[in-house]
């Protein structure tokens, strides 16, 4: 059972066959044979698909991903770019944290309007500052 046909890959990877065909079309993966009309894949493709899925979850475009782990799974992207991406992820994690805190606050805050709640305003303000770092910030202490 050396090769997997597309249906099996689809089932095992949880990726629709149409998406697999699309990935092949754009050169992200490749099938190695046909059985009749059916594409046959090497089992390796499952790992590639895991990578692709990871990359997507991290916010990379398919183009980026194919630059990182090309058709043969070897990385093309310079290390620096990868570090940049990782740093961007750090930033993104901070955003998520701020949003989470804001959300929790919003859920619990007794103030009639959030616009009037200093805690809320502070959270939003901080988030805003992070996003446009480098821009001069004028914060009035609200609490």
Contacts with 28 (C-beta within 8 Å, 6 or more apart), sequence order? 48, 52, 62, 65, 66, 71
Cα–Cα dist 45/20, whole Å:
10
Closest CB 37 distance from a second copy, rounded Å: 28
**Nearest approach, Cβ of 97 to a second copy (angstroms)?**
6
Q: Is the dihedral of CA 83, 85, 91, 96 positive or negative?
A: negative
Q: Which of 7, 47, 71, 118 binds a second copy (CB under 8 A)?
A: 47
CB of 20 to a second copy, least distance (A): 17
Strand order in the sheet with 38-41: 4-5, 38-41, 33-35
Among 7, 16, 27, 75, binds a second copy (CB under 8 A): 75
- Residue 133 binding result from a second copy, DNA, none, given CB thresholds of 5 to 8 Å by partner type: none
- Measured over the CA atoms of residue 47, residue 53, residue 56 and residue 61, the dihedral's sign is positive
Q: Footprint of a second copy on this chain (CB under 8 A)?
A: 14, 44, 47, 50-51, 53-55, 57-61, 68-69, 73-75, 79, 82-83, 85-86, 88-93, 95-100, 102-104, 106-108, 113-115, 121, 124-125, 127-128, 131-132, 137, 139-142
């Amino acid at each position: 059972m050396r090769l997997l046909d597309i249906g099996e890959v689809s089932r095992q990877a949880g990726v629709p066959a149409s998406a697999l065909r699309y990935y092949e079309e754009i050169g992200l993966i490749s099938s190695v044979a046909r059985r009749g009309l059916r594409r046959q894949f090497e089992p390796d493709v499952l790992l590639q698909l895991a990578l692709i899925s990871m990359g997507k979850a991290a916010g990379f475009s398919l183009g980026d991903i194919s630059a990182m782990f090309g058709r043969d799974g070897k990385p093309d992207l310079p290390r620096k770019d990868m570090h940049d991406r990782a740093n961007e992820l750090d930033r993104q994690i901070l955003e998520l944290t701020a949003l989470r805190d804001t959300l929790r606050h919003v859920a619990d805050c007794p103030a009639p309007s959030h616009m009037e709640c200093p805690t809320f305003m502070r959270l939003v303000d901080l988030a805003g500052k992070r996003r446009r770092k480098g821009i001069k910030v004028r914060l009035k202490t609200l609490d």
